[in-house]
Structure 1
């Protein structure tokens, strides 16, 4: 049993103790929302190597431990994604310097994801403030397409499969004019532009539609080997595919002279918060990573089994992870990694973990603890970790390089959340780099 250097005695007693599996039924069906019912568990130490050796230098972390942990997450959790294409192919399909009454530039870009001209296309929407300098930019996938994030009539409707949603005017899995601006409450674009940031977004279904059909749709079939009909047990599920797609968007943003390619922030909410974390862990070109209400498979510790468990997420969304992850349903302690090590893989780059008080399904306390237990890696690499021993109170954000915020309310993205994202980026991405 290993005690991390920064763990307080109460946390040590509660969380870093010998595993007692008898406290948890073999087939957990009741959702745990009571801290007293959280089973005892032992977390793997991110600074202990595969042979038990202590990782004590940044060189050892970067050359040995980080690749080792990436390999474990690839083969046991998210699945291995294919290599980046040798050259990105894209076309600017629409452009204007008069968006939002003339205050912003709008670019719509079709990014070809494969060599097949009939293959999947990622349609990227970019808004940038008018300036002569390259702009730091938030990159965030959307759930229903670019036309939902704004009522701008010039934004193209998605053509990919959409989940039916009466409130958004979507039926028959097809887009309609009724969907314009229906998610704009989560996207205060003009406020973001006024703060000096760009916004880039694309529909995650352009990469891989979010339903389980054995990976016969989306990007996966284009990378199957001859005779292969679905990914192998250690190959990419949908989260890894969406993350891979975020990197393809970053390919374009780094080529754009209008975007500061060294200051692109990977951001996501809910399942796309999981996606943003994995994208940031695997692609070190992202300047910073922000997850919002990412929960199980994202920032929350799996071994806590609080709220959504590994069993429940695998049962409800079997396509999100690689098939190897199924073996850890009701068996979280057997997994060689936990989510604090995902956060550690982002080090030493800035990372902000955001929770909501009423979003117990996503386990806010477990999200905080992942940041807490990732802090020793940040410190080993010569930067500050979370810097607090206890979970902060509501609306008392910790905006250290490895930060944590919990706000009142439910599972959502709010204007207050965006204020925190930009405050964090001001401190660790823009001003820190000047």
Structure 2
């Protein structure tokens, strides 16, 4: 079973192959403007650089490339394409990588731990030794690839003298930050896996996970390489999943300047935005959307303020709108509802969804829908951050989502209204209900929602609830019950079955 494959020379995968490629929008023409208008709201992921909106699923490929180029310019720095020569070897215990470009060369390696059984196996990159529980990964039938990112980009170096394999190729003064460099390293390992012929590990069934700084890395890896079928960042904090615009207003979270200065994780250009995130033409919810429609399982810890989990929940909710528009709403999961506050703990709440995601996206034997479990301790409100609607996209694979249009009529004096929006996919749905105060302030509200027959609620955020089927009553939490005249707040729930047709009524509390 221990097979050693030595690969020499460069092997190029044909662009017309059915297999996933590192960046399927690389051929899309993108011309970035010299400057961008500032906005305190999250940028619209569905509005192209020319001002037109995405109307079809087939449009997303090139819109994704625009977002990628914006993220490289302002957040990450450039992640270069595949170098002129990538060679290496794959065995049951180790992967070696040798890279050459423009007369410069570098090498690095990664360890391999196989599960029991007969391969070839799917595999999960575990960045820096910290990520999802490796025992569960292997017990689920996937191998573990132990990736040392510090061999590719060292921490503790000044921005003008970066070190590691990436910077040996592209120069110590490269403006590319560590996160993009670390993502480049994983991409080169995938190149070697593709060249190996898949006798030990399957190059088309790869996941990535990491926690804390390596959660930032896992997220960037999944964002920047579409050959990653399942991305699983854990407690990634600032420079990871949480929206950058939300960090300054989230008490106790790691500040943008602090994260920029702690290590060169961000690209050098991000220094211009540490005090002005509203000037960014992109935010992390769009990076979540870049992963779509591939598998994404975001795990966060609401017990440590430093990690910015409230801003993380907003990124997940807003990014899920891209998933839903592409007909892949069941492919994203978010879970911050955990009891143990220990940083990077192996939590029992995550074990089952971890297994389900591996089965669905790597083993391709499962079909469990994604789950949203947002802790009430750190529940963000998407309505606060967006002023754009989610389009119903025509054509392409998947099932078209059909969000209902929220009411725009003014609520009567002294009352409140509840507007329902449903995003449906096969077997499941997410419902968002917007509560709006009338001409008098509210000090509490209650919404009664009538669910369609067969619908069952599996999780709720930003509200208390009674019951899971039929007519369900939702009440405000401690931080969203007081509304000024005309002010709105949102809560939501995920369910199984069909949510389309839900009606709701609001009453003052």
Q: Determine if the TM-score, normalized by the shorter chain, exceeds 0.5.
A: yes
**Among 365, 376, 388, the residue aligned to 2:310:** 365
Q: Which has the higher contact order (CA 8 A, sep 6+)?
A: 1
Tell me the equivalent position of 1:344: 289
Q: Determine which of 152, 176, 183 is the counterpart of 1:243.
A: 183
Q: Does 1:62 align with 2:72?
A: no
Residues 268 and 114 of structure 1: CA distance in aligned 2, closer, same or farther (over 3 Å) = farther
- 1:201-280 equivalences in 2 (<5 Å): 201-213=146-158, 214-224=160-170, 230-231=173-174, 235-254=175-194, 255=196, 256-280=198-222
Which ranges in structure 1 are unaligned for 5 or more consecutive residues?
A: 1-20, 22-39, 96-105, 143-148, 150-182, 385-399
Q: Distance in 1 between matches of 2:254 and 2:223?
A: 22
CA distance in 1, matches of 2:75, 2:268: 8
Structure 2 stretches lacking a partner, 5+ long: 1-37, 368-509
CA contact (8 A) 1:72 1:337 kept: yes
Question: Is contact 1:353-1:368 (8 Å) kept?
Answer: no
Instruction: Report the 3-state secondary structure (helix = DSSP H, G, I; strand = E; otherwise coil) of the residue aligned with 1:53.
Output: coil
Pairing 1:402–2:332 present: yes
Where 1:356 maps in the other structure, the secondary structure is: coil
In the alignment of these two chains, the number of paired residues is: 320
Q: What is aligned with 2:279?
A: 334
Could you list the per-position Cα deviations for residues 230-274 of structure 1 after superposition, in whole angstroms to 9, with x for gaps in the alignment?
Answer: 12xxx4111110111111122233334121221100222122222
Q: Is residue 359 of structure 2 the alignment partner of residue 426 of structure 1?
A: yes
Return the offset for 1:215. Answer: 3.1
Tell me, in whole angstroms, the C-alpha distance in 1 between the residues paired with 2:110 and 2:309: 31
Distance 1:433 1:423 in 2: 7
Equivalent in 86, 104, 123 of residue 109 of structure 2: 123
Deviation at 1:327, TM superposition (A): 0.7
Match of 1:324 among 266, 269, 277: 269
Aligned CA distance change for structure 1 residues 117 and 200 (closer, same or farther; 3 Å): farther
**1:315 corresponding residue in structure 2:** 261
Distance in 1 (alpha carbons) for counterparts of 2:258 and 2:134? 35
The answer to whether 1:411 aligns with 2:340 is no
Once residues 227 and 315 of structure 2 are traced to their aligned partners in structure 1, the CA distance between those partners, rounded to angstroms, is 22
Tell me, yes or no, if structure 1 residue 47 matches structure 2 residue 33: no
Q: Deviations over 1:61-85 (max 9, x none)?
A: 112x111100000111100022212
Q: Distance in 2 between matches of 1:250 and 1:131?
A: 23
Look up the SS of the partner of 1:298 in the other structure. coil
State how far apart, in whole Å, the 1-side matches of 2:64 and 2:355 are: 28
Q: What TM-score, normalized by structure 1, do the two folds share?
A: 0.68
In 1, are the aligned partners of 2:216 and 2:241 still within 8 Å (CA)?
A: yes
- 1:135 equivalenced with 2:75 (yes/no): no
In the TM superposition, residue 433 of structure 1 has moved relative to its aligned partner by 7.3
Q: What is the distance in 2 between the residues matched to 1:421 and 1:120?
A: 34
Does the residue aligned with 1:297 lie in a helix, a strand or coil?
Answer: coil
Compute the TM-score of the two structures, normalised by the length of structure 2: 0.58
Contact 1:114 1:222 in 2 (8 A): no
Cα deviation, 1:211-240, whole Å, max 9, x if unaligned, reads: 12323421344334xxx7612xxx411111
The question of whether the paired residues in 2 share the 8 Å contact of 1:287 and 1:349 is answered with yes
How far did residue 116 of structure 1 move? 9.7
Give the alignment of 1:180-195 within 5 angstroms.
189-195=134-140
Instruction: Give the Cα separation in 2 of the matches to 1:404 and 1:115.
Output: 39
Look up the SS of the partner of 1:348 in the other structure: coil
Q: What is the RMSD of the two structures over their aligned residues, measured on CA atoms?
A: 2.6
Q: Which moved more, 1:375-384 or 1:283-292?
A: 375-384
What SS does the aligned partner of 2:300 have?
A: strand
Greater C-alpha radius of gyration: 2
**Shift of residue 422, structure 1, vs aligned partner:** 2.5
Indicate conservation of the 8 Å contact 2:127/2:208, yes or no: no
Q: Is the 8 A contact 1:82 1:223 kept in 2?
A: no
Shift, 1:413, TM fit: 3.9
Secondary structure at the residue paired with 2:145?
strand
* Corresponding residue SS for 2:245: helix
Query: Which one has a larger percent strand, Structure 1 or Structure 2?
Result: 2
